[in-house]
Structure 1
Amino acid sequence: MKIIPAIDLIDGQNVRLTQGDYNKKTAMKRSPEEAVQFYSAFDSVARIHIVDLMGALKQESLESSLITRLKSYTDLPLQIGGGLRSAETIKQYYDAGIDYFILGTKAITDIKWLTEMTVLYPGRIFVGIDAREDDIYINGWTENSGITIQNYLADIKDLDLAGIIYTDINKDGMVEGPNFESTADINNSTPHKVIASGGVRSKEDLDQLVSLGIEESIVGKASHNDEFWEGIK
């Protein structure tokens, strides 16, 4: 299992939300800079996942200066999301040396634009599917897109993506375990690599995901606890 620890940003702070609720914000003990350096010490960490939470809500990139600076703290690839709604914003991050781009709302609602971005950045774009039940949510998880997971997977099956990040919103930040069943269903329904996200608690959760054919997982709140890393190299 490749671990992808998450750093969520609001106003330059490293925070976590519970079930995507901006009114349920908890500050993490490590600053973004400290977190990047801490995660970089583990061989199991494949990339670091960084989300501009207010950027996702406000529909524009707001933490680009900090995210660009964080790149200088690690040799690991960064995958960044939140507010990436234009080719110009993606190019800005690309020029700053950012490795992968997570596209959510606009990638869900505008397949033509997503297709154009995958042509410009082949193999470097992750699509974020954030869902409650079968419904995909957008705009910082505040709005039902009216698009179901299976219909969307059919629309993007031929695109040159880095992969799909699936988050069960109801599991996110709860540290109660991921949605194993839906993650496996999605993995079996698409040719793209599927990255699990939301609710991972422990190495046991990671092992269960591996048994379902999932090779990468984003770990959010649990990754901020030293206990999670015991026994992980």
Structure 2
Amino acid sequence: MNIIPAIDIIEGQNVRLTQGDYGKKTAMKRTPEEAIAFYSSFEQVARIHIVDLMGALKQGAQETTVIQKLKEKTDLPLQIGGGLRETETIEQYDAIGIDYFILGTRAIMDLDWLETVVSRFPGRIFVGVDARENDIYVNGWTENSGITIDDYLKKIELLDIAGIIYTDINKDGMNQGPNFENTQRINGLTRHAVIASGGVRSKDDLDRLETMGITQAIVGKASHSDEFWRDIR
């Protein structure tokens, strides 16, 4: 299992939201710089997941300066999400050495643009599929896109993407475990790598995902717990 710890940023601070609710913000004990140094010390960490939360809400990158500094502090690959609505923003991140780009809202709503970006950055685009039940949500998880997971996966099956990050919004930050059933179902619907996200609490959760054929998982709130990492060691 490849662990992908998350650093969510608002105004340069390392925070966590509950179920994507910007009114339920909790500051984490480590700064983004401290967190990236800590995560980089574990051999099980494949790469680090960084989200510009206000970028997602305001529909444009807000934390590029902070993210550039974080890139300079680790040799691990970084995957960046939040506010990547324009090709120019992706090119800006590419110029500072960012390895992977997570596209959400526009990738869901504008397939022609997604195809163009994927052809420009083959194998480096993760599509973020953030859902309640089978409905994909967009714009910082605030709006129902009107598109179901099943229909969307059919449309992107032939694209040369890095993978699909599936987040059950209702599980995110709740410390109740991921949506194992839907994660497994989605994994059976696509040839793309499925990265589990939302609700991962422990090594037991990671082990259960692995039995389903999931080999990558983003760990958010739990990754800030020393207890989680003691079990990993």
**Superposition TM-score, scaled by structure 2 size:** 0.99
State how far apart, in whole Å, the 1-side matches of 2:47 and 2:68 are: 15
Q: Who is 1:50 aligned against?
A: 50
Q: Percent identity at matched positions?
A: 71
Q: Who is 1:35 aligned against?
A: 35
SS of 2:231's equivalent in the other structure is: coil
The gaps in structure 1 that reach 5 residues or longer are none
Q: CA deviation at 1:200?
A: 0.4
State how far apart, in whole Å, the 2-side matches of 1:67 and 1:142 are: 24
State how far apart, in whole Å, the 2-side matches of 1:43 and 1:26 are: 28
Paired residues for 1:1-233 under 5 Å? 1-233=1-233
Q: CA deviation at 1:175?
A: 1.1
State how far apart, in whole Å, the 2-side matches of 1:179 and 1:134 are: 12
Q: CA deviation at 1:171?
A: 0.1
Q: CA deviation at 1:231?
A: 3.2
> What amino acid sits opposite 2:11 in the alignment?
D
State how far apart, in whole Å, the 2-side matches of 1:95 and 1:181 are: 39
**Superposition TM-score, scaled by structure 1 size:** 0.99
Moved over 4 A (4+): none
Name the Cα RMSD after superposition.
0.5
- Provide, for residues 38-81 of structure 1, a one-character-per-residue CA deviation record: whole Å limited to 9, x for no partner: 00000000000000000000000000110011001100000000
The gaps in structure 2 that reach 5 residues or longer are none
> What amino acid sits opposite 1:142 in the alignment?
T
Q: CA deviation at 1:99?
A: 0.2
Q: CA deviation at 1:232?
A: 1.7
> What amino acid sits opposite 1:227 in the alignment?
E
SS of 1:231's equivalent in the other structure is: helix
Aligned residues: 233
State how far apart, in whole Å, the 2-side matches of 1:231 and 1:31 are: 23
Q: CA deviation at 1:112?
A: 0.5
State how far apart, in whole Å, the 2-side matches of 1:166 and 1:137 are: 11
- Provide, for residues 117-145 of structure 1, a one-character-per-residue CA deviation record: whole Å limited to 9, x for no partner: 00000000000000000000000000000
State how far apart, in whole Å, the 2-side matches of 1:128 and 1:121 are: 16
SS of 2:79's equivalent in the other structure is: strand
State how far apart, in whole Å, the 2-side matches of 1:62 and 1:212 are: 36
State how far apart, in whole Å, the 2-side matches of 1:35 and 1:230 are: 16
State how far apart, in whole Å, the 2-side matches of 1:80 and 1:68 are: 11
State how far apart, in whole Å, the 1-side matches of 2:91 and 2:201 are: 35
State how far apart, in whole Å, the 2-side matches of 1:108 and 1:218 are: 20
> What amino acid sits opposite 2:44 in the alignment?
S
